[in-house]
Chain A
């Protein structure tokens, strides 16, 4: 009788100990998890990810020269959107102006026809493929597509890496 009562008491004590400390640590855990979640805002006051760059005809050269390897780099969207629009033959794509090494903004040197990153000296050909310096891969590209109003739109929320450069959306085919 005594022994079983004693056992009972210890069990109850154990139970209270486990539930007590358990709820204590669970509460602390929830509090910490909530604090971590608190640090991830739902709404970002950053630029909208899509912007329009004009009609396809704006990017066609006056004298049609659509051979593979003919390149033209458009710089006017770099300042506001960190994007170079590049036409390579019939393909138009949006290169993300952010070095794949550590995120500095490379510069376009029209005379040498290469991009150079000022931070650690990475070099890229005009199609964004790296050939020197520490950059691990070519410059990323954004989704580029023809919107319903007939204007070319760049969507910065969809990023294509090197292996996806031939996928639908990574480039826009320009009809002559």
Chain B
């Protein structure tokens, strides 16, 4: 061991091995709780990798990846489902036009995710599981995450031929009637409704909690509230469709929402 010691110097190592006498009390307290990566963590990582390899091999032996007939542009699969992680978006296609469900919603989700650390200025609750310190952030994020999951579950398990709702115990051979009594709000009502939703949604939380508005500042407040209002607009639209057969909330010559 000695021969290695004098030949190779690791300057930054000296701090760890021959510690100085003067030390920060907090650092010392922390270091007592520290663990070595070698071998403790490396062994854990190795065992995880081994376990996962076994799981993957067993899974691959038991279940074959699907391979249907060769691609045929003339015959559509019925139902043709996207892979499970996109089924949530496919489910949204029932309620929104493709440019919203397929383009705007994913883009907005990604942009909002990216902005999270810059708009969440609550300094508390970093590095541990807590609910009481970050109620607002956690409630909204988890509802969004849950929506993604629920839409996937509905799309994956409850949709049958023609993308109709089939309970798991119902036979897919029974043909379901397509809802053909959909109607749209007239432009004035629709515009008023949207203006009320977004306008009040922007103003009321700021009035109820002046503290929240003051801490965020106008720019952050607008971004946060707009993102949240957009997120809750999705289940609201779904509810309007299911409860009142409303197809579009807003009809314009260029696009429909």
Contacts and interface: CB of A to CB of B under 8 A. Distances in A.
B94 A134 contact: yes
Task: Give chain B's interface secondary structure class.
Answer: loop
B162 A116 contact: yes
A118 B73 contact: no
A105 B74 contact: yes
Contacts of B164: 121
Interface residues of B, number: 20
A interface majority secondary structure: loop
Interface in B43-79: 73-79
Nearest to A99: B76
Given A101-B98, A119-B79, A82 B256 contact: no
Interface residues of A, number: 23
B190 interface: no
A81 to B, nearest CB: 10
B76 A118 contact: yes
B6 to A, nearest CB: 50
Q: Which 7 A-B pairs have the closest CB atoms?
A: A118-B78, A121-B162, A132-B180, A132-B178, A104-B76, A120-B163, A118-B76
Interface of B: 73-80, 93-94, 97-98, 161-164, 178-180, 256
28 contacts: A79-B74, A80-B74, A82-B73, A105-B74, A105-B76, A106-B76, A107-B76, A117-B76, A118-B77, A118-B79, A118-B80, A118-B162, A119-B76, A119-B78, A119-B80, A120-B93, A120-B94, A120-B162, A121-B162, A121-B163, A121-B178, A123-B178, A132-B178, A132-B180, A133-B162, A133-B178, A134-B93, A136-B97
